[in-house]
A and B are shown apart, each in its own frame.
Chain A
């Protein structure tokens, strides 16, 4: 899917540069960052291609554009372009980090596959699958045969017995596959963002030791965000007495989600993962908020759930389940909101790019490009907004759990 990735790249580059070009150093940094994909191309001893070239080539040849992702090596058959397949593969997780395609050969960054099989732990490189995602290439791991089908790894023998439908829903067929603890694209990107964020804030924390005066540089840029979380999110929702205890958690989720939202918008190699648009990730984040909320719940909070004030006792059999469902719907809404917003943004951008390949016309390029640019800018706003909303609602739920009533 290098077509799309490359297509998006110049746009986002421009956007990024526009935003951060206040300082020459940052401009250079961003330019350098934007060039990293090209550097990767060069290092893989394959020439880089530009979007326009390819577009022109395709248009000139009058061929249908091809979806090269997921195509097995050695198959030279060109498939009909399938937008939903492209979009699905882009917003989903993957065992290898796909960088580009060249002549039908995928260039990717191979990530480790970690399986808990019937014979114990097995670790190997995702390279062994040879980019196969259709269950064709059987990999022998210390005598155990596994195949990969749509990024889910099955035991080869069990896979043979499954119907197409069972295979498509294979993510939850725990008897037909080993447990998969691979460092996937999303895990890789999450790890990267965590390390970058940690060093960023560690540097900020250190800078305060040497500079007791007004913050400057990195601290000057990040401190307003920290005080924003404190003054606009934590204090109004949790209250001045108790907010301090929850500040580290709120700050962590705010920056973690925000940065990962932004990483998802950068369409080239070390970024481009759709982590915050992955329901498993949002599930864990929402679940942690749920755990924090539940553990912080005071007498009032539990009193409202098990003995709602002002409600007759005989209604308790109805009220208690309703209240318990209420406890769960709050984090559930958090999970769905973040997942849906980020995924929707990715789908829109990818659909706009797909238009070019659906119409098979270069003329649609500038139109789709303009829309993609617009959507990308909008998504940058959404990235910050959703991080803010997630943090705000987490603070609100925690605030409800620790609230002291005078009582109605």
Chain B
């Protein structure tokens, strides 16, 4: 290589490089590196917050699961309670019905007894009335014949049996 005057290129390289460096550092590298750095930070922040959101989501899911489980238990309990209650009610009503029936039966029995007694009394009355009328009739008949009258009375009396 043919060496040329060294001062020319050395002088200009120094001047141009230094000016170029200062201008670039101020107007280009500073904003570019700043922007790149802040963007990287924002990306990191975004990633971190995404991770946080993911964790929160996980927590929420766990919570939901727990709540669901609790709800299921509660539902089961409620169902059980309801079943018990139903059984209780059924049992209670059965008892009551039985009681009521019993009572009704008792009442019916008492009424029947009363009726029966009344009927018996009536019957007695009727029988006695009937007997009297029979007796009357018989008497009327038999009394035409004294002997037979007596005979009849005796026979009838022998037949009649008070209950």
Contact = CB atoms under 8 A, between A and B. Distances in A.
Interface of A: 88-89, 91-94, 150-153, 169, 171-172, 177, 179-184, 186-187, 190-191, 194, 197-198, 201-202, 204-206, 208-209, 212, 214, 223, 226-227, 230, 244, 247-249, 251-252, 256, 278-281, 283-285, 288, 343
A93 B6 CA distance: 10
Contact of B12 (A88, A187, A212, A248): A187
B12 to A, nearest CB: 4
Given A191-B16, A226-B33, A252-B20, A150 B8 contact: no
Nearest to A280: B9
B12 A93 contact: no
A209 B6 contact: no
B33 A181 contact: no
Contacts of B2: 88-89, 92, 150-151
Contacts of A278: 1, 9
A285 B17 contact: yes
Interface string B18-48: 0111011101111111011001000000000
A279 B14 CA distance: 14
A275 to B, nearest CB: 8
Contacts of B11: 181
B36 A223 contact: yes
Closest 3 CB pairs of A and B: A201-B28, A208-B35, A180-B5
Contact of A288 (B8, B17, B23): B17
A184 B29 contact: no
A227 B27 contact: no
Contacts of B10: 280, 283-284
Contacts of A249: 21
12 contacts: A93-B4, A151-B4, A169-B3, A171-B5, A179-B7, A181-B12, A187-B16, A190-B13, A198-B20, A198-B23, A280-B9, A284-B10
B17 A209 contact: no
A186 B17 CA distance: 13
